Structure 1
Amino acid sequence: MPATLEQLRRCHFAVDLGAARTRVYVKGTGLVVDQPSVAAMNTRTGALIAVGELAEKMTGRTPDYIRVVRPVSGGTVVDIEMAQRMLRHLLGDKMRRALRRKPFLRGAVCTPHNADPLAQRAAIETLVGLGSRRVELVDTLIAAAVGCGLPVEQPEASMIMVCGAAATEVAVLSLGNIVTAERVRVGGEAVDHAIVQHLRHEHELMLPSQNVRPLQLALSGNGLTSHGPAATEIHGRDVCTGLARSVLVDTAAVRDAIQTPLTAVLDSIGKVLRDCPPDLVADLADRGIMMVGGSALLPGFDDMLRQATSMPVHIAERPDVCAVQGLGTMLEGRVEPLELDPVT
């Protein structure tokens, strides 16, 4: 059952377990953790070697006895024990001792829209491993909408699109609840995969995972539009010889490769609007779509949506931390519910 605002005000900390990054908000302190959801462990001893940014740098560069794992996949905890260990190390001893001093520790955690009971249970068990006596579940769409300042509690439509690493969620909100929503398993990772496959097939080049982001930044400016840079140089490994090689990549072809996975996102927006009441759709014609999430910063993504939907498209001021900031806003009691007097 979703948590109420009164229940969230009693919580002491909140966690946003994303597929790409893990963020922790502590009541009265603010955002204390913003690190990649990655851990490196020694398979011989079982010891945890590194977490966060250091573990992410180890990806693809470790010997056989060191394994780099991601305990969160698709917004769902897939390895509870490793997620607990990762969170403990990210918080640090000082913050964990401060939390343990609370007489009845309460936590809140974001879960994807319509998450199945097993996914919800995994999120709860992860926070219980930190010492939490009670865990409140908050829909990621609601938390992100509150974090970017949308009037969620008002009787007017607000459309939000959470662009995550593993999935994209689109919803229309009104009166503090989700009117209609759609979730597609297309996110930043799907875009990265499309770029890697394009370079492999067209240029016979294997691109290291750390080089995907620089290629996307090379498309910056007008990004996914035809006004971007004509070409950019990419370094990788030749598929046939295994030697290092550089190629000049046509960015127009890369933009075409990126468009394919993003088509599913456009379809989900159309489905949400078709299922939405006409009065709310009329509100959205003026208010438009608010984009949050790390993948919302993909260069030119907002322009593509603007052309496809003919609606205003806005990107939140800090789209990557909107969900955890929304949780923090509700924990601090800065969200006032709409009070309706009963009709007598």
Structure 2
Amino acid sequence: MTLSLEQLRRCSVAVDLGAARTRVYLKGTGLIVDEPSVCAVNLRTGGLIAVGTQAEQMSGRTPGHIAVVRPISGGAVVDITMAQRMLRQFVGDRVRRAWRRKPLLRAAVCTPFDAHPLAQTAAVETLTGLGARRVELVDTLVAAAVGCGLPVELPEATMIVVCGATTTQVAVLSLGAIVAAENVPVGGDAIDRAVVQHLRNHHEVLLAGHAVRPLHLVLSGPDAATGAEVHGRDVATGRARSVRVEAEGVRAAAQLPMSGVIDSIGSVLRSCPPDLVADLADRGIMLAGGSARLPGLDTMIRDATGMPVQVAEHPDVCAVEGLGAMLEGEVRPVHLGPLAT
């Protein structure tokens, strides 16, 4: 981690290209972009109509000649050109001009620990197309752990579960590196689909996918005991109908897709040395990522593992904030002294 920190301190920009949201951190300024990773494109002309929040609001409401696309999936750029166009709109002309005035601009970007070389190349090309002369790749797990305030640079075990939109990453870290990790193709989107299916089967209501996340937020808040009212389309009549949804039903629907994450946590623990697992008995598991606040997720993991589970204070921005802390030099490497002779 020492070498990585020295390289990262030379970077000026940190980027977290998430499947759900894209975030940009500017050194000395802080977080300047936090927008959905969504673009609305005119299929006839190829022109970009909207990006971010405005494009996300168009999802499911567009005519045939307008498509709402996501250029990032599972932490990997799947459409480099569209990702570059989206980032250009996000950062704005003023920031781009400031970048151009730095001939040796360096950028850092979060990537999954098991990212394919082609996915890493796509992330690098996306940022070099915006003017970066050098791009440093940082494991999302390490960046998120730093953003959560975990002492990843110490010779002690820390366990983090990063719950994204399309994937969930589980890892045990020590001395600034990953000891054991797994990537599960299950995330918030899979849980959303399970909730939509639950409403269809038990309440006979069709709910739009983008309306599920506000439902999660209500059911994870102080009013969870009273449930939440949702508006959708009646399966039989096609008319608009409102139903009240209980938190217990949503938690039960989320158990099936989350079983893969539970199995992955057990597999990672079995791959770790006993001394590190002993460290985790008291410290427990830290949840980060945009889906970490799903109702009942922490309780589900706690019951399955018997370990303490804590949700980060700001789980959705942990990765980019941790990357920013590395850029600012707030993380210090451990320097081990020479052996006595």
Larger deviation: 302-311 or 172-181?
A: 302-311
String of CA shifts for 1:41-71, please: whole Å, max 9, x gaps.
Answer: 1112111111111111111111111111100
- The answer to whether the Cα contact below 8 Å between 1:222 and 1:300 also exists between their aligned partners in 2 is no
Q: Hey, what does 1:148 align to over in structure 2?
A: 148
In the superposition, relative to structure 1, how do residues 52 and 161 fare at CA in structure 2: closer, same or farther (>3 Å)? same
Q: Find the residue that maps to 2:46 and give its secondary structure.
A: coil
Cα distance in structure 2, aligned partners of 1:243 and 1:299: 29
State which of 281, 289, 292 in structure 1 corresponds to 2:288. 292
Cα distance in structure 2, aligned partners of 1:299 and 1:200: 19
Cα distance in structure 2, aligned partners of 1:17 and 1:270: 28
Map 1:11-30 → 2, pairs under 5 A: 11-30=11-30
Cα distance in structure 1, aligned partners of 2:106 and 2:128: 9
Map 1:92-171 → 2, pairs under 5 A: 92-171=92-171
Q: Hey, what does 1:267 align to over in structure 2?
A: 263
Q: Find the residue that maps to 1:297 and give its secondary structure.
A: coil
The residue type equivalent to 1:279 in the other structure is D
| TM-score, scaled to structure 2 | 0.95
Q: Hey, what does 1:310 align to over in structure 2?
A: 306
For these two proteins, the number of residue pairs brought into alignment is: 340
- The answer to whether the Cα contact below 8 Å between 1:3 and 1:137 also exists between their aligned partners in 2 is no
In the superposition, relative to structure 1, how do residues 3 and 75 fare at CA in structure 2: closer, same or farther (>3 Å)? farther
Cα distance in structure 1, aligned partners of 2:46 and 2:274: 56
Cα distance in structure 2, aligned partners of 1:269 and 1:334: 29
Q: Hey, what does 1:47 align to over in structure 2?
A: 47
In the superposition, relative to structure 1, how do residues 166 and 97 fare at CA in structure 2: closer, same or farther (>3 Å)? same
Q: Hey, what does 1:196 align to over in structure 2?
A: 196
- The answer to whether the Cα contact below 8 Å between 1:3 and 1:138 also exists between their aligned partners in 2 is no
- The answer to whether the Cα contact below 8 Å between 2:13 and 2:107 also exists between their aligned partners in 1 is yes
Q: Which residues of structure 1 form unaligned runs of 5+?
A: none
Deviation for aligned residue 1:249: 3.8
Deviation for aligned residue 1:314: 1.2
Cα distance in structure 2, aligned partners of 1:63 and 1:245: 24
The residue type equivalent to 2:333 in the other structure is P
Cα distance in structure 2, aligned partners of 1:247 and 1:43: 37
Deviation for aligned residue 1:137: 0.4
The residue type equivalent to 1:310 in the other structure is G
Deviation for aligned residue 1:234: 2.4
Q: Hey, what does 1:333 align to over in structure 2?
A: 329
Cα distance in structure 1, aligned partners of 2:44 and 2:98: 33
Deviation for aligned residue 1:134: 0.8
Cα distance in structure 2, aligned partners of 1:2 and 1:125: 26
- The answer to whether the Cα contact below 8 Å between 1:2 and 1:137 also exists between their aligned partners in 2 is no
Deviation for aligned residue 1:283: 0.6
Cα distance in structure 1, aligned partners of 2:146 and 2:186: 23
Q: Hey, what does 1:91 align to over in structure 2?
A: 91
- The answer to whether the Cα contact below 8 Å between 1:218 and 1:229 also exists between their aligned partners in 2 is no
- The answer to whether the Cα contact below 8 Å between 2:103 and 2:133 also exists between their aligned partners in 1 is no
Map 1:222-237 → 2, pairs under 5 A: 229=225, 232-237=228-233
- The answer to whether the Cα contact below 8 Å between 2:217 and 2:293 also exists between their aligned partners in 1 is no
Larger deviation: 228-237 or 313-322?
A: 228-237
- The answer to whether the Cα contact below 8 Å between 2:71 and 2:79 also exists between their aligned partners in 1 is yes
Cα distance in structure 2, aligned partners of 1:235 and 1:50: 26
The residue type equivalent to 1:302 in the other structure is D
Sequence identity (%) = 69
String of CA shifts for 1:122-158, please: whole Å, max 9, x gaps.
Answer: 1111101111111110000010111111111111111
- The answer to whether the Cα contact below 8 Å between 1:221 and 1:300 also exists between their aligned partners in 2 is no
The residue type equivalent to 2:338 in the other structure is P
- The answer to whether the Cα contact below 8 Å between 1:84 and 1:130 also exists between their aligned partners in 2 is yes
Q: Which runs of 4 or more aligned residues in structure 1 lie more than 4 Å from their structure 2 counterparts after TM superposition?
A: none
Q: Find the residue that maps to 1:155 and give its secondary structure.
A: coil
- The answer to whether the Cα contact below 8 Å between 1:108 and 1:136 also exists between their aligned partners in 2 is yes
Q: Find the residue that maps to 1:190 and give its secondary structure.
A: helix
Q: Find the residue that maps to 1:294 and give its secondary structure.
A: coil
- The answer to whether the Cα contact below 8 Å between 2:38 and 2:71 also exists between their aligned partners in 1 is yes
- The answer to whether the Cα contact below 8 Å between 1:51 and 1:89 also exists between their aligned partners in 2 is yes
Q: Hey, what does 1:322 align to over in structure 2?
A: 318
Cα distance in structure 2, aligned partners of 1:216 and 1:312: 22
| TM-score, scaled to structure 1 | 0.94
Q: Find the residue that maps to 1:45 and give its secondary structure.
A: coil
Deviation for aligned residue 1:78: 0.6
Cα distance in structure 2, aligned partners of 1:222 and 1:306: 20
Deviation for aligned residue 1:230: 6.3
Cα distance in structure 2, aligned partners of 1:206 and 1:40: 24
Q: Hey, what does 2:82 align to over in structure 1?
A: 82
Cα distance in structure 2, aligned partners of 1:38 and 1:192: 18
Deviation for aligned residue 1:251: 4.2
1:277 matched to 2:273? The reply is yes
Q: Which residues of structure 2 form unaligned runs of 5+?
A: none
Cα distance in structure 2, aligned partners of 1:308 and 1:229: 23
Q: Find the residue that maps to 2:124 and give its secondary structure.
A: helix
Deviation for aligned residue 1:215: 2.5
